[in-house]
A and B are shown apart, each in its own frame.
Chain A
Amino acid sequence: MPASPAAAVEVRDLVMRYGDKTAVDGLDLDVARDTITAVLGPNGAGKTTTLETCEGYRRPQHGSVRVLGLDPMRERSTLLPRIGVMLQSGGAWSGVRAVEMLRHIASLHADPLPIDMLVDRLGLDSCGRTPYRRLSGGQQQRLSLAMAVVGRPEVVFIDEPTAGMDPQARRTTWDLLRELRADGVTVVLTTHYMDEAEQLADHIHIIDRGRRIASGSPVELTRGNSATIRLVVTEPFPADAPASLQKALGGGVEVRPIDARSLLITGTADSTTLAKVSAWCEQQRVLPESLNLGQRNLEDVFLELTGRGLTEATR
């Protein structure tokens, strides 16, 4: 067997178009082994298309994709047993029972994980005999995750792992993904939840409109001059509010509108800045609903890079 390459996934200059819509636009992306790597971006950013190209579902129209050093199209039969895939939705017969489906996928692999352990770990015992169509969204997601890992893969690709899950199931899923990483499985996930990326991932690629706009660990991405101030007011701002506040605060900080009632101030924001914002509000006769000084988070990073909020872009 040839020496395993250092990178689990290498995407180079990938371009994918559907009709005249460009879904992926010259994307470069690396995933190191034994990490949890998140591909974060709003809906329609090209996350699923990128993942499906890695999974061998789509042929790159331009550029190249390698997973474990293999071409997912040409070396499909060698690669597929080594990866696990969790689709965004579906993937099971409507009349199949949950555990029956998991057993079936297991039977296609040489040395699958013990079913009972997996069922227990993902809390599927109570719905083991329930037909797929009657499972809740969260149960379907957990079954789908179990199907992705049952073959003891080296890399798992997970598209939106916790969409539709309650907080408890979300924790269980996160714990399982962390354990996979600890046991030597590389986890690649897409998400549009920044808290998921921030808390779970070792490495994050932020993508927007088919391009990678930033990469790094959560700490690297949110570092910088760090603090941000978030101002939310009770009534919509007058149109000139951002400019007026920018003037009042002077250089060193940047004021960005988020929506009609909220603003984000980034840069060397500190308690003096906070006092100035407060004074400005009084002078403008706007009533703050909340005024927060805090660490920059991924939402702020996305906003700075794209001029749009992540949540807003996702809608």
Chain B
Amino acid sequence: MSGTFAPAPGAAPFWRQVVAQARMEARLMLRNGEQLLLAVVIPVIVLVGGVEGAKHVTLHISHRPIDEFAPGVLALAIMSTAFTSLAIATGFERRYGVIKRLGSSPLPRSGLLLGKVGALLMVELFQVVVVGAIGFALGWEPASGPGTYAGFVLAIVLGTAAFGSLGLLMAGALRAEATLAAANLVYLLLMAAGAVVLPTTSYGAWGEVARWLPSGALGDGMRAAFIDARVDVTSLVVLAVWALLGTLLTARTFRWE
């Protein structure tokens, strides 16, 4: 057969599909006003506001405010993207039949998941650049050394895995509107009380609880990397356990439609 529509079926190479999916999802995340607010605007406000605020109130922190806040806000940014943005986006993808439609395309589910991870990493890279630049402008002096880089990369990877799996768990079980509300609520609660922006040590007794939360663990991991040039094994293990738990539960409960 010949003609305009003559069949010539075939899937694009797997990695090309994954990259296409990741770029598409990252583009949509950064195009969406609410998502951008979560990804960049709120972290920047917290960073600038925190550093300015620290001039007027006494915080129980042991380093210069900017050196405590910058890694904390990086952790907050990772949390907002990997948890809240991912949960909301995935909730609406289920609602609008996007996941269903992709389910009959050549993109396998593993490719869809990898695409999502890729999109998160792209958005996170953008956040790190913006928050880092503003941090340096405010006088941030991060420690540097092998421990910084290793701790930073491990915190991003394990933090994204932990929050991402929990975000998917929520999006796969609740309706889209419920996900929207709950993901924002959890984000606000963790931002205020989750020891993400400020160290667990500044929370008193509650800090002992918060350090086992993914938010506290991610924040502490980031601070260890950028303040002490140290890989904080305890926080990273806590994140890994959350990631494992989230993945197992998601695999059991997630509904693609």
Evaluate contact between A89 and B97: CB separation under 8 angstroms.
yes
In chain B, residues 1-50, which have Cβ atoms closer than 8 Å to a Cβ of chain A?
1-12, 16-17, 20-21, 24, 28, 31-32
Evaluate contact between B107 and A90: CB separation under 8 angstroms.
no
Confirm or deny: B233 has a beta carbon within 8 angstroms of a beta carbon on chain A: no
Interfacial chain A residues near B101, Cβ < 8 Å: 85, 87, 90-92, 147
Interfacial chain A residues near B21, Cβ < 8 Å: 104, 108
Interfacial chain B residues near A91, Cβ < 8 Å: 96-98, 100-101
Evaluate contact between B92 and A183: CB separation under 8 angstroms.
no
How many chain A residues touch B (CB < 8 A): the figure is: 40
Among the listed stretches A148-156, A231-239, A255-263, A273-281, which one makes contact with chain B, having 4 or more residues with CB under 8 Å of it? A148-156
Evaluate contact between A108 and B17: CB separation under 8 angstroms.
yes
Confirm or deny: A1 has a beta carbon within 8 angstroms of a beta carbon on chain B: no
Evaluate contact between A90 and B96: CB separation under 8 angstroms.
yes
Confirm or deny: B62 has a beta carbon within 8 angstroms of a beta carbon on chain A: no
Given contacts A87-B101, A91-B98, A93-B96, contact A109 B20 (CB under 8 A): no
Interfacial chain A residues near B98, Cβ < 8 Å: 90-93
Confirm or deny: A264 has a beta carbon within 8 angstroms of a beta carbon on chain B: no
Among the listed stretches A38-46, A76-84, A306-314, which one makes contact with chain B, having 4 or more residues with CB under 8 Å of it? A76-84
Q: Mark B94-117, 1 if CB is under 8 A from A, else 0.
A: 001110110111111000000000
Interfacial chain A residues near B103, Cβ < 8 Å: 56-57
Evaluate contact between A95 and B9: CB separation under 8 angstroms.
no
Confirm or deny: B228 has a beta carbon within 8 angstroms of a beta carbon on chain A: no
Evaluate contact between A183 and B2: CB separation under 8 angstroms.
yes
Evaluate contact between B10 and A90: CB separation under 8 angstroms.
no
Instruction: Tell me the bound Cα distance from A94 to B8 in angstroms.
Output: 30
Evaluate contact between A184 and B104: CB separation under 8 angstroms.
no
Residue of A nearest to B20 (CB): A107
Instruction: Tell me the bound Cα distance from A90 to B11 in angstroms.
Output: 23
Interfacial chain B residues near A82, Cβ < 8 Å: 7, 9
Interfacial chain B residues near A117, Cβ < 8 Å: 4
Evaluate contact between A110 and B96: CB separation under 8 angstroms.
no
In chain A, residues 92-125, which have Cβ atoms closer than 8 Å to a Cβ of chain B?
92-96, 100, 104-105, 107-111, 113, 117
Evaluate contact between B108 and A154: CB separation under 8 angstroms.
no
Instruction: Determine which of A93, A107, A113, A149 lies in contact with B16 in the assembled complex, contact meaning CB atoms within 8 Å.
Output: A107
Interfacial chain B residues near A110, Cβ < 8 Å: 8-12
Residue of A nearest to B103 (CB): A57
Confirm or deny: A195 has a beta carbon within 8 angstroms of a beta carbon on chain B: no
Instruction: Tell me the bound Cα distance from A108 to B28 in angstroms.
Output: 17
Instruction: Tell me the bound Cα distance from A109 to B100 in angstroms.
Output: 17
Evaluate contact between B8 and A152: CB separation under 8 angstroms.
yes
Smallest Cβ distance from B137 to chain A, in angstroms?
31
Smallest Cβ distance from A251 to chain B, in angstroms?
52
Confirm or deny: A182 has a beta carbon within 8 angstroms of a beta carbon on chain B: yes
Evaluate contact between A94 and B5: CB separation under 8 angstroms.
no
Given contacts A90-B96, A113-B5, A179-B5, contact A81 B11 (CB under 8 A): yes
Smallest Cβ distance from B31 to chain A, in angstroms?
6
Given contacts A95-B32, A108-B105, A109-B106, contact A154 B10 (CB under 8 A): no
Interfacial chain A residues near B92, Cβ < 8 Å: 93-94
Interfacial chain A residues near B107, Cβ < 8 Å: 108
Instruction: Tell me the bound Cα distance from A182 to B6 in angstroms.
Output: 9
Confirm or deny: A55 has a beta carbon within 8 angstroms of a beta carbon on chain B: yes
Instruction: Determine which of B16, B24, B97, B108 lies in contact with A104 in the assembled complex, contact meaning CB atoms within 8 Å.
Output: B24
Instruction: Determine which of A77, A107, A152 lies in contact with B12 in the assembled complex, contact meaning CB atoms within 8 Å.
Output: A107
In chain B, residues 91-145, which have Cβ atoms closer than 8 Å to a Cβ of chain A?
92-93, 96-98, 100-101, 103-108
Confirm or deny: A180 has a beta carbon within 8 angstroms of a beta carbon on chain B: yes
Query: Given A104-B21, A107-B12, A107-B16, list of 10 further CB < 8 A pairs?
Result: A80-B104, A91-B96, A107-B20, A108-B21, A110-B11, A113-B4, A151-B106, A152-B5, A183-B4, A184-B5
Pick 7 A–B contacts, CB within 8 A, sort by A. A81-B10, A93-B93, A94-B96, A108-B21, A109-B10, A152-B7, A183-B1
